[in-house]
Amino acid sequence: MATERPELYTCLDDRFRTGRCMNGDDALEVLYTGCRWAEGPIYLPAWRQLIWSDIPNDRMLRWDEATDTVSVFRSPAGHTNGNTLDRQGRLITCEQGNRRVTRTEHDGTLTVLADRWQGKRLNSPNDATVKSDGSIWFSDPDFGITSDYEGYRAESEIGSNNVYRIDPATGEVRLVADCFAAPNGLVFSPDERQLFVSDTRGGAIRVFDVHPDGDSLSDGEVFAKADAEGVARFDNLRFDDGGRLWVAAMADGVHCYDPDGTLIGRLNVPETVSNISWGGAKRNRLFITAETSLYSLVMAVTGTHPTGPGRRPWLDAS
């Protein structure tokens, strides 16, 4: 199954072309279809596998690169949404249904990293990103408690939708930003001086300066706005090594923004795009979850690593 090249790439600014963003595969590859709503792809280099979430079906799936096969990784899974890796290569997962952030240890056991803030239950953690100091930052909108479709209907104990930080030494959960209608995807800039957060209901991507202490933020400014017609709504975010921001823009495919905030191009996907993630041996394979399916596209640009700069003993050569 594939799409023709003229339908795959839309160049809106010549920087999309000159930056090699249109080079690579001529068509999307369909790796799997059969989900109810797919999200949270993360590539595990050590195993050459991709883990992602099928939220309404309450399962996590696993695609094996070597055999091109898909199997169930975990079920039930707590209506998981976003997944990432920590500095030790362990899986960090946002569980909407269980209203918590967990870590899968190397022996397969689960450790709860966060389920409350100031004694109140979290809403439904959605996405997480790991800073090079080991701290875990996550968004906590109410998507998983507004109905029984992606979690369990409940009232918010906190009363707002926020972004939090988990201290790597103490495990303290601290609120770092509370100015969203519904925070969703988040990612640090490659130099970790800024944090980018999508606000799905707010129709914008906001950028926050990270203070010199490394664990607090300035007031966020708008980096990009969704279109007024509501076709593009922002979900998760990923950087490439050229400083461009790639965004899952739902019905408007995958957006690519220049560092100055200009929308320079688009990848057109036949389903509503939920999440994206870089992977493969060279980190130039873009994985896309969209409604019922998992797609991939090998490109001429390379994605940054989800755990930030610096050496990772489990991945980097000695």
Per-residue pLDDT, 306:
77
Q: Are strands 254-257 and 245-248 parallel, antiparallel or unpaired?
A: antiparallel
Phi, psi of 204, rounded to the nearest 5 degrees: -155, 160
Q: How confident is the model at residue 293 (pLDDT cuts 50, 70, 90)?
A: very high
Q: Which position has the higher pLDDT, 1 or 105? A: 105
Contact 258, 244 (CB under 8 A): yes
pLDDT digits (tens, 9 = 90+) for 22-32: 999 999 999 99
Neighbours of 190 (CB within 10 A): 16
Rounded to whole angstroms, how far apart are CA atoms 139 and 127? 6
Neighbours of 97 (CB within 10 A): 20
Query: Beta partners for 287?
Result: 277, 296
Cα–Cα distance list, 195 to 33, 135, 253 (Å): 32, 13, 23
Please check the confidence at residue 312 and state whether its pLDDT lies above 60. Answer: no
ω into 56 cis (within 30 of 0): no
Give the mean model confidence (pLDDT) for residues 255-280.
97
Rounded to whole angstroms, how far apart are CA atoms 224 and 245? 11
Rounded to whole angstroms, how far apart are CA atoms 157 and 122? 7
User: What percentage of residues in the chain have a pLDDT greater than 90?
Assistant: 88
Q: How confident is the model at residue 219 (pLDDT cuts 50, 70, 90)?
A: confident
pLDDT digits (tens, 9 = 90+) for 134-192: 999 999 999 999 999 999 999 999 999 999 999 999 999 999 999 899 999 999 999 99
Please check the confidence at residue 5 and state whether its pLDDT lies above 80. Answer: no
* 17 three-class SS: helix
Per-residue pLDDT, 4:
41
Per-residue pLDDT, 213:
87
Cα–Cα distance list, 215 to 2, 164, 199 (Å): 44, 10, 21
What's the mean per-residue pLDDT of the chain? 93
Rounded to whole angstroms, how far apart are CA atoms 139 and 126? 6
Residue ranges in 157-219 assigned as alpha helix (H): none
Give the mean model confidence (pLDDT) for residues 54-78.
98
pTM of the model: 0.94
